[in-house]
Amino acid sequence: MTSSQATADSLPQTLGALRASGYRPRSVRQELRDNLMARLRTQEPVFPGVIGFDRTVIPQIQNAILGGHDFILLGLRGQAKTRILRSLANLLDERLPAIAGSPLNEDPLAPMTSWGRAQVEAHGDALPIEWIPRADRYREKLATPDVTVSDLIGDIDPLKAANRRLELDDPEVIQYGIIPRTNRGIFAINELPDLQARIQVALLNLLEEGDIQIRSFPMRLPLDMLLVFSANPEDYTNRGSIITPLRDRIASQILTHYPRTLEDSMAITDQEAWIERGGPIQVQVPEPLRRCIEEVAFRARESGLVDQNSGISARMTIALFENVVSNAERRALLHGANEATVRASDLYTSIPAITGKVELVYEGEREGSRKVAQQLVGQAIHEVFGSHLEGAVSERDQEGEVPELQPILAWFGEKHSVDLSDDLSDEALLEALRAVPGLEAAAQKFLDPQNPAETASAMEFLLEGLHQASLLTREDLVTGSTYRDSFEDMVRSFHS
């Protein structure tokens, strides 16, 4: 009988009752293997909420668990490494029996310390049993330079010895660290390279022999646990590295990655971003602008101004999405509206969600973080704008131009311009943009808006797309922006 097969009320509470129930001890690795095999047979999700790894990372983790391997997840920031490690606890039994009061979660049928054996001898079948929930069997530690061997493994506590009048060779004087206290569970160390080399050495015996030794204490504790780690690639980290003997003892090294498709990236952001806020304002996000938000990360991961060794976390698009929705929400509140529609200008007002999450190379630093962020947003809009035109244009003229856009460009070519404020209501924005001939018809054809607010957003998006395609010039003002003909703007620069 496994603990997951019993309800909380029917679980044995003494050693005798545990024996009578048919319970048989299993190692943690066997437990994880058995439960994973059961899930695979029934095709239950093993790592719910982890998106984009179904054919890459997750099969490798499953192989490691089936093989009983300790493993390390190696990847850049924001690649769901910690989420995956924490999800491993779902493969543990719902509850696990242990000797009541044991700091090491000792198995009642196989105590590992002299204290545990003494408890069994003293109480016999009446020995009290406690049941440990799976959530308490997973523990993790963030590796920092101040972590000590005592924190992880343990040390001799002279105060305990003095207060209880014990000799220093008495097992009772040991103060166990977090790793022994996770016995019969899963222990994770995040950012392993940040752990000092001498601390990493303390883990060698645990990985190879499955036991620990505390200082010169004449006792070795055989621990039963799965050790898992996460780390950023060594080739860029300046903080530390994984020592070779430790790397050799970690059986599997699994490389994570960023989402490889825009759809996977959008699914992750939709899952994590706080968008359903339950407030009085209903915010609509047109599909092109939703894709633009995600495209910013893809442009950043290809930009020569961004340090690619640092990575672009999924947290950037999550924060950007939330900021964009917040700006639309704020605009609706200013106009007393109950609905808001996201616009291209909202992406530019949400630049603070990008600047703090993008590490720049020297050339990027010279440009400045805000300017680089604006360029990334512009490139994302250009990409999505181009994809919509390619998909919607049925034919082009002999010069390869899009006929639907010619009235718009011709109007601007006659020295017209349009001034837009970031805080215009939907009605005011639509009225201002209707002054541009052909703009509304082009927006209807290329972007298929469903209502006046979406139409206004689509028209603004087309203007911004034309600007990013270098067909129009946009001048940023304190209160908004002005779109004008590119040639006129060039002439203005000659006269200035």
Interval 294-349: pLDDT, tens:
999 999 999 999 999 889 999 999 999 999 999 999 999 999 999 999 999 999 99
Let me know: does 127 contact 118? Beta carbons within 8 Å: no
What gap in Å lies between CA 322 and CA 320, rounded to an integer?
A: 5
pTM: 0.87
Specify the number of domains making up the chain: 2
Let me know: does 1 contact 22? Beta carbons within 8 Å: yes
Where among 205, 226, 255 does a domain terminate? 255
Helix runs in 229-343, H state only: 244-249, 262-272, 287-300, 314-334
Q: How confident is the model at residue 234 (pLDDT cuts 50, 70, 90)?
A: low
- The domain that holds 156 is classified in CATH as 3.40.50.300
What gap in Å lies between CA 179 and CA 186, rounded to an integer?
A: 9
pLDDT the model gives residue 215: 66
pLDDT the model gives residue 171: 61
Q: Which two tokens stand for residue 461?
A: 């998006």
Neighbours of 395 (CB within 10 A): 6
Q: Note whether 8 and 135 are same-domain residues.
A: yes
pLDDT the model gives residue 216: 63
Residue 3 DSSP symbol: G
Q: Note whether 170 and 22 are same-domain residues.
A: yes
Mean pLDDT across 153-157 = 75
Q: Which residue has the higher pLDDT, 164 or 67?
A: 67
Q: Note whether 34 and 128 are same-domain residues.
A: yes
Q: Note whether 238 and 283 are same-domain residues.
A: no
Q: Note whether 240 and 323 are same-domain residues.
A: no
Mean pLDDT across 125-129 = 95
Neighbours of 9 (CB within 10 A): 5
Q: Note whether 232 and 283 are same-domain residues.
A: no
**Percentage of the chain lying above the pLDDT 70 cut:** 88
Q: Which residue has the higher pLDDT, 120 or 1?
A: 120
HSE (side-chain half, CA atoms, 13 Å) at 131: 18
Q: 86 in helix, strand or coil?
A: helix
Q: 232 in helix, strand or coil?
A: coil
pLDDT the model gives residue 452: 96
Mean pLDDT across the chain: 88
pLDDT the model gives residue 495: 43
Neighbours of 94 (CB within 10 A): 15
Mean pLDDT across 31-48 = 95
Is 490 a residue whose pLDDT tops 80?
no
Q: Note whether 204 and 93 are same-domain residues.
A: yes
pLDDT the model gives residue 34: 97
Where among 185, 220, 255 does a domain terminate? 255
Mean pLDDT across 350-374 = 94
Is 176 a residue whose pLDDT tops 90?
no
The helix-helix angle for 262-272 and 314-334 (nearest 10°) equals 60
Q: Note whether 295 and 336 are same-domain residues.
A: yes
- Which residues fall within 8 angstroms of residue 301, CB to CB, at 6 or more apart? 258, 308, 312
Q: Note whether 369 and 250 are same-domain residues.
A: no
Let me know: does 408 contact 414? Beta carbons within 8 Å: no
pLDDT the model gives residue 165: 61
b/e 176-202 (16+ beta carbons within 10 angstroms → b): bbebbebbbbbbbbbbbbbbbeebbeb
Q: How confident is the model at residue 353 (pLDDT cuts 50, 70, 90)?
A: very high
pLDDT the model gives residue 249: 92
Q: How confident is the model at residue 233 (pLDDT cuts 50, 70, 90)?
A: confident
The pLDDT tens digits for 183-224 are 999 999 999 998 888 889 888 888 877 777 776 665 677 889
Amino acid at 327: N
pLDDT the model gives residue 134: 94
Expressed as residue numbers, the domain containing 367 is 262-495
Where among 208, 238, 255 does a domain terminate? 255
Mean pLDDT across 161-181 = 70
Residue 477 DSSP symbol: -
Q: Which residue has the higher pLDDT, 108 or 172?
A: 108
Angle at 308 between CA 303 and CA 314, to 5 degrees: 90
Q: How confident is the model at residue 175 (pLDDT cuts 50, 70, 90)?
A: confident
pLDDT the model gives residue 494: 41
Please report, to the nearest 10 degrees, the dihedral formed by the alpha carbons of residues 98, 46, 81, 241 taken in order.
Answer: 70
Q: Note whether 146 and 277 are same-domain residues.
A: no
pLDDT the model gives residue 161: 56
Neighbours of 103 (CB within 10 A): 15
Is 21 a residue whose pLDDT tops 60?
yes
Q: Note whether 234 and 300 are same-domain residues.
A: no
Q: Note whether 284 and 227 are same-domain residues.
A: no
Residue 382 DSSP symbol: H
